[in-house]
Amino acid sequence: MILLDTHVLVWCATGDTTKMTGGRMDQIDAAIIDGQAAVSAATFWELELLRRRPANSSLRLPPTANLRLRLLSDGLREIAPSGDLMVRAVQLEDEGFHKDPMDRMIVATALQGGFQLATADSQIITWANQTGRLELFDVHKD
């Protein structure tokens, strides 16, 4: 199972192959159709926040509610954060993880589910490489 970081979901939804290789985008699209790709439910919260910022007016995303329904009907899985997951997200600080609460929630979701995380976030990648605790799906390699 591949868990998509928010920016990867945006790139897939907009077809932006300038940030991710086309081969990797195809793999993620196939994983969605096969029910083997997921996002944290909180990712849709973050997407809606991003859409509302004037600085992000160039994002060509449909309304978040519509995008969510389309992706779920395509086969994307949505993982609701539990109380246990939220506690684990905070505890990542004890392992040197940076303070971004959304990144913590996404990484805790990947760890709890044993998922590969599709991300280009350098802070997450550095932490994963240093700790060996998180399996990454490299969005830059075919």
Distance CA 13, CA 11 (A): 6
pLDDT by position in tens, the chain (length 142): 999 999 999 999 988 888 888 899 999 999 999 999 999 999 999 999 988 887 776 777 889 999 999 999 999 999 999 999 999 999 999 999 999 999 999 999 999 999 999 999 999 999 999 999 999 999 988 7
Domains, the chain, with CATH or none: 2-138 (3.40.50.1010)
Residue count of the chain: 142
Q: Hunting for tokens 């490489």 — which residue is that?
A: 129
- Model pTM? 0.94
DSSP letter string, 32-94: HHTT-EEEEHHHHHHHHHHHHSGGGTT-----HHHHHHHHHHHT-EEEPPPHHHHHHHHHGGG
